[in-house]
Amino acid sequence: MAEQQRVAVVGAGLAGCLLATLLGRRGIAVSVYERREDPRVTGAERGRSINLAISARGLDALEHVGLREQALGQALPMHGRMIHGTDGTQGFQSYSADGTRAINSISRSELNHALLDAAEKTPGVTLHFGRRLRDVDLNTGTLAFDDGTSAPADIVLASDGSYSAARRAVTFREGFTFSQDYLEHGYKELTIPAQNGAPAANGGVAGGGSKFALDPDALHIWPRGESMMIALPNLDRSFTCTLFWPKGELAALQTDEQITGYFRTHYPDAAPLMPTLVEDYRLNPVGSLVTVKAWPWVHHGGSATLALVGDAAHAIVPFFGQGANCALEDCVEIDRCLGEFGGDWQRALAEYERRRKANCDAIAEMALDNFVEMRDRVNSPVYRAKMAGQHFLERRLPGHYVSRYELVSFTTMPYARIPARMRRQGRLTAVAGAGLLAGTLAIVRRALR
């Protein structure tokens, strides 16, 4: 009976493709509707990516459809943060106490292409491109598209992102608690290209003879307080940079001189590595940073049910690198619930939203919190001492003391348990005193070098 329900997935981004693939493998026929044309044909939009940092949760989800190794093969591991001072100095901070753990820089579009391929070749999954959703009618069970076409659906899984079109159909329902909270900061993508070394033997291959302008084993951060820039390495040995700054400030840089002048002053070591800075700054759009919260995630009409998935349910800011990881976890949870409830969609979706809500709220808060940490605190002596103290404790108390960053990035512990774990850990190990001691020792040791 459950198999007879017509299932539609809205949005063929990372979550939509993974979800369709998981459902297809379960023997469920799924129609996926994507507003863009096939991105494997048309290519990505300019300047709207923010590279992904795939970590334990995303990899675990990809493993469910056998894509873990393929994804890692397209990714570059980053074992820590490289902090760039205004004086051009660089300082490396390992993400893990033992230095072995890494998050993985991967191109959003490459990963999306791999997931589109996986969905397309899964029996039962049909991809429909160029179908921009206009409205969902849950009473008749109909999706209406901008091109005038429509499609029937009993179960609508809305994985169409932060600005979800499917969500609009329920936004003004009485009792739908909803918020979209924009940061004053926007972002602008910039680039540090590969540096040409000696020409490669075979000539012409992208990156053949070139090298990375910065250490590719790190996520680079230029913390400047009000503004911040980050850079993630790409396979072609370039870096994608993202400048975060209040939107008013981003718009205020107008002339070539203002743009180059600002970067020479505040990002003196990066500016010379950015030959297309002015062009990138001019042409790339200003992106928004929004946190979306919604409740409930599952909505019923006379003949159809809508469930919000991934960013459509809980868009978060990118400062913990967890947006995609978290969305992929949603898909696995829906699939798991369907398994547990023998394909009963109503029970499965009710359980999905119940299990995921607190976790997604928790990472949303940690992501906002991390913005302050990244743009400001990472560069302070107190923060460095705290980090040193944390790693000291992690090494001395393996398994007992684990930093928040490690729990978020290198485990699949439910996000919601992490804040409580951190508080418990703090009490149990009397972290304040020990951290201060370890930090002081680290500073003294460094000073005596």
Does 163 contact a copy of itself by CB under 8 A? yes
Shortest distance (Å) from residue 43 CB to a copy of itself: 23
Number of helices (H), then strands (E), in the chain: 16, 21
Considering only the stretches 45-53, 81-89, 177-185, 210-218, report the one whose residues sit in contact with a copy of itself under the rule CB under 8 A.
Answer: 177-185
How many Å apart are CA 108 and CA 339, to the nearest integer? 29
Q: Which helix (H) or strand (E) holds 308?
A: strand 305-308
Taking the complex as a whole, the smallest distance from the CB of residue 187 to a copy of itself amounts, in Å, to 13
Q: Which of residues 43, 148, 175, 342 is near a copy of itself by CB under 8 A?
A: 175
Q: Does 171 bind a copy of itself (CB under 8 A)?
A: yes
Taking CB under 8 A as the criterion, the residue among 174, 198, 202, 449 binding a copy of itself is 174
By CB under 8 A, name the one of 27, 66, 92, 176 that touches a copy of itself: 176
Q: Is 172 in the site for a copy of itself (CB under 8 A)?
A: yes
Q: What angle do CA 10, 11, 15 make, to 5 degrees?
A: 110
**Residues paired with residue 137 on neighbouring β-strands, in sequence order:** 142
Cα dist. 26→22, 125, 301, 307 in Å? 6, 11, 25, 18
**Could you tell me which residues are beta bridge partners of residue 186?**
245, 288
Residues 97-156 close enough to bind a copy of itself by CB under 8 A: none
What part of residues 43-102 is at the interface with a copy of itself (CB under 8 A)?
Answer: none
| Secondary structure (3-state) at 178 | strand
Nearest distance, CB of residue 51 and a copy of itself, angstroms: 22
Q: For a copy of itself, which is the closer residue by CB, 175 or 381?
A: 175
Q: Return the structure tokens found at 219.
A: 């996520």
Minimum CB distance to a copy of itself smaller for 185 or for 220? 185
Residues 237-266 that bind a copy of itself (CB under 8 A): 247
Out of 180, 260, 411, 412, name the contact with a copy of itself by CB under 8 A: 180
Q: Tell me how far apart the alpha carbons of residues 372 and 245 are, in angstroms, rounded to a whole number.
A: 13
Could you say which residues in the range 355-384 bind a copy of itself, by CB under 8 A? none
Out of 1, 4, 148, 177, the only residue in the binding site for a copy of itself (CB under 8 A) is: 177
Beta carbon of residue 249, minimum distance to a copy of itself (angstroms, whole number): 15
Q: Which is nearer to a copy of itself, 42 or 179 (CB)?
A: 179
Q: Does 354 bind a copy of itself (CB under 8 A)?
A: no
Buried b (16+ CB within 10 A) or exposed e, 399-426: eebbbbbbbbbbeebebbebeeebeebe
Q: Is the separation of the CB atoms in 440 and 385 below 8 Å?
A: yes
CA distance 64 to 320: 23
* CA nearest to 297, candidates 259, 350, 374, 258: 350
Residue nearer to a copy of itself on the CB measure, 18 or 312? 312
Residues found near a copy of itself in the complex (CB under 8 A):
163, 168, 171-172, 174-182, 247, 288, 293
